[in-house]
Structure 1
Amino acid sequence: MAALTNKGLFYTEDLSSTLRVAQVLGLTSTAFLAGKTFAASFTAPALLLAPGPLLIKQWQKIAEFDKIINPAISAVGLGVFSFFAYRDPNPGSRHQILYTTAAALLATSIPYSFFLLHPIVEKLEEHAEVLAGDKITDYVNPKDTTHVLVDRYATANLGRVFLSFMAAATATWAAVDRLEIVPAVGKLVGGADRMGH
C-alpha cells in the first residue's frame, strides 16, 4: 500500500508574537485611517444638504473627533512601519523600502494637512463663531459660505485619503511579501519503506 507524504507548501518569516501583534496593529490602524478619512469626504454631500448653522455644528463635531483620533492612528502606523523598516537586516531590501514608503506616506499627511486643510479649517472655525447664535442665514461672504468651505475641505481631504490608502496598501504588500512559496514535496512510499526500512 502506498502513502503520500507532503512537506509544507509555504514558508513565512518567523516573527515573535509581539512583532506580529505590532504588524497587525500597524496595518489595521492605517487601513482604518484610510476608511475614516474617506468617509469624511464621502459623507460631505449629505452634510451639505443642511442649512449653514446646522452644517457648521455637524462639521465641528466631526472635526473635534478627528483632531484626537487621526494623529493617534497616524502615529501608531508611522511608528510600527518605521520600526519594521529599521529592523530589516538587509539594508535596501524590498521590505525595507516598502515599510519606509508606508511610513513616509503617513508622515507626508502632516504637512499636507497643515498647508492645504488648515487654512480651510481656520475659516470654518470663524464661521462657527459667527453662526453660534440662532441665525438661519449663512455667513455673509458669498465666496466663502459654510457650504463652499465644507465642500472645499472634503475635496482637499481626498489627498489624505490617497496618502493613507497607499500607506496601508504598501505596508500590506511588505507584510504579505514575506510569504515565500516552497515547492511541495510529494512521494509515494510503498511496502517496508513506510516503516523506515
Structure 2
Amino acid sequence: MSQTRILVLVGSLRAASINRRLAEAAAKAAPEGVELAIYERLGEIPFYNEDIDAEGEVPAAAQALREAVAASDAVLLVTPEYNGTLPAVLKNAIDWASRPYGAGALKGRPAAVISASISANAAKWSHDDAVKALGVAGADVVKEASLNFGVIGQRFGEIHPADDAEALTQLAATVLLLAETVNARANA
C-alpha cells in the first residue's frame, strides 16, 4: 500500500476544541502508510464570493486550500454542531474547494465526516449537512466511514481522545475505511 494522504478539515477554530483533539487522535490512530494532515488555515479564508473567484483574483488563503485538497488523496471533515448545522468555516471550505463548478478539487475525491458535540445527538444534524454539502460539491462521500461522538464534554473533558482506547479504535477504523477506498480506486 502506497502512502495515502488525507487532509483533515476541523470545523472548530478554537485551539483547545475537542473536535480538534479528535482530529489529532485520528492522526495518531492512522495505520502505517496513511498520513493525516490537519489544515491549519481555515480561519484565514474569506467567505466565498464569486466576484473574487476569478483568475488572478482568488485570495491566497482560498487558493492554498484548493491546492491542499487537490494534493490529498481524501478529505476528512471533523465537525461540531453550531445551532443545529455545520460551522460556517467548514461550509465555506467546501464552497471554495468545490469551484470552479464541475472541476473543483473535491470532485470525485473520497471524503468522510466525523461529528462530535456535547449533546447526545452527537452532531448528527451537522454530520448530515456536511455529507450533503460534500456530495453536492462532487466529493465521493464514504458513508461507511462516518463516525459520531456524543456527550463529548463528559467523555473527553478530562482526557484527550487519544487516551481513550475505544475512541482510538473507532477513529482508526474510520481512517482505514477512507484509505481503503482511496486504494481500491487506485487499483481499479
TM over 0.5: no
**TM superposition score normalised by structure 1:** 0.29
**TM superposition score normalised by structure 2:** 0.30
Please state which structure has a larger fraction of its residues in strand.
Answer: 2
**Higher RCO, 1 or 2 (CA under 8 Å, sep at least 6)?**
1
